[in-house]
Amino acid sequence: PAKADAGSTPSFEMTWSSTTSSGYCSQEDSDSELEQYFTARTSLARRPRRDQDEPVEWETPDLSQAEIEQKIKEYNAQINSNLFMSLNKDGSYTGFIKVQLKLVRPVSVPSSKKPPSLQDARRGPGRGTSVRRRTSFYLPKDAVKHLHVLSRTKAREVIEALLRKFLVVDDPRKFALFERAERHGQVYLRKLLDDEQPLRLRLLAGPSDKALSFVLKENDSGEVNWDAFSMPELHNFLRILQREEEEHLRQILQKYSYCRQKIQEALHACPLG
């Protein structure tokens, strides 16, 4: 695993474990920063919440160096993969965290002649990339990413690293990292503070995904904070709502037309009297 000096920017590595593709179709705008949302998934409707946004009280004691070393040994003994944690000479440690993306709104990326592929995201921004003209699309639903981080890596740095990997140019403050836990048949979510250290939480909770997992979501508590969006984004959301309304109307008309046709066929088939 790559190590970073105390004063340098933490290094991040990502492995890709999702092959789910997002609906993507784009149109470039040559004379403005207007973003065009043309995707195969244009619903902004909020789904019923299955998760409960309730605090989960994790014990986060201050561990001695010997306790950290013992915890790492116990952690590595429980995993069935090569995603081990490693203790560094300076007392810090490195390891992997898995982040599930649960984004319901499109994200913005620099516009290009073709949609960014997984290989493009691995390579990062190329030369000559223009951030002025942007295209928006939906990230793969429930994609799961592994990040190689340091024990001192903070939640906000994890968010920024994920956005860089996907070439997302949206403000990182629009997103939040959550911890997820399953207890007694219930699912609980808690938004991490910017300065919290995900790898430390991972070590204390152990490797079980039910005990602790990480989720990247939009940074809102229920209702959409429309004030956080720019004018071009708001106009594009109106376009999305209009297309969604037109699609729902088409489906309703089609349904009633079908029912009317079947009733008329039944009437014609019935003998008179």
145: domain CATH number is 3.10.20.90
- pLDDT for 29: 36
pLDDT, average across residues 198-224 = 87
Instruction: Tell me how far apart the alpha carbons of residues 273 and 256 are, in angstroms, rounded to a whole number.
Output: 27
- The number of distinct structural domains making up the chain is 2
Q: Is residue 99 part of a domain?
A: yes
- pLDDT for 166: 86
Q: Tens of pLDDT along 168-182?
A: 888 898 999 999 999
The verdict on 235 and 215 lying in the same domain is no
Instruction: Tell me how far apart the alpha carbons of residues 25 and 39 are, in angstroms, rounded to a whole number.
Output: 5
Give 269 or 86, the one with higher predicted confidence: 86
Q: Is the pLDDT of residue 17 over 60?
A: no
Judged by phi (left if over 0) then psi (alpha if -120 to 50, else beta), residue 222 lies in left
For 263, the domain range is 228-268
The verdict on 192 and 244 lying in the same domain is no
The verdict on 233 and 102 lying in the same domain is no
The verdict on 92 and 193 lying in the same domain is yes
As a residue count, the chain comes to 273
Sign of torsion, CA 219 225 230 231? positive
Q: Which uninterrupted H or E stretch holds 227? A: none
Instruction: Tell me how far apart the alpha carbons of residues 239 and 10 are, in angstroms, rounded to a whole number.
Output: 40
Q: Tell me the pLDDT of the chain averaged across its residues.
A: 75
Q: Is the pLDDT of residue 109 over 70?
A: yes
- pLDDT for 125: 54
Where does a domain end: 203, 223, 243? 223
- pLDDT for 138: 82
Range ranked top by mean pLDDT from 2-11, 145-154, 184-193, 225-234? 145-154
Q: Is residue 234 part of a domain?
A: yes
Q: Is residue 254 part of a domain?
A: yes
Q: Is residue 148 part of a domain?
A: yes
Q: Is residue 164 part of a domain?
A: yes
* Percentage above 90 pLDDT, the chain: 38
- Tokens 């969006």 belong to 229
Give 153 or 114, the one with higher predicted confidence: 153
Give 51 or 246, the one with higher predicted confidence: 246
Q: Is the pLDDT of residue 56 over 50?
A: no
Give 82 or 4, the one with higher predicted confidence: 82
Give 103 or 226, the one with higher predicted confidence: 103
The verdict on 90 and 212 lying in the same domain is yes
Nearest to 217 by CA among 53, 20, 61: 53
Q: Is the pLDDT of residue 272 over 80?
A: no
69-107 burial, b at 16+ Cβ within 10 Å, e below that, comes to eebbeebeeeeeeebebebeeeebbbbbbbbbbbbebbb
The verdict on 137 and 258 lying in the same domain is no
Task: Tell me the residue type at 32.
Answer: S
The verdict on 205 and 250 lying in the same domain is no
- Tokens 């070439």 belong to 167
The verdict on 72 and 186 lying in the same domain is yes
Task: Map residue 117 onto helix, strand or coil.
Answer: coil
Q: Is residue 75 part of a domain?
A: yes
Q: Model confidence at 155, in pLDDT bands (50, 70, 90)?
A: very high
141-155 burial, b at 16+ Cβ within 10 Å, e below that, comes to eebbbbbbbbbbbbb
The verdict on 242 and 217 lying in the same domain is no
Q: Model confidence at 5, in pLDDT bands (50, 70, 90)?
A: very low
Q: Is residue 213 part of a domain?
A: yes
The verdict on 214 and 264 lying in the same domain is no
Cβ–Cβ < 8 Å for 149, 201: no
Q: Is residue 26 part of a domain?
A: no
pLDDT, average across residues 136-154 = 87
Q: Tens of pLDDT along 35-49?
A: 333 333 333 334 444
- pLDDT for 24: 36
Residues linked to residue 218 through DSSP beta bridges, in sequence order: 175
The verdict on 174 and 251 lying in the same domain is no
The verdict on 233 and 164 lying in the same domain is no
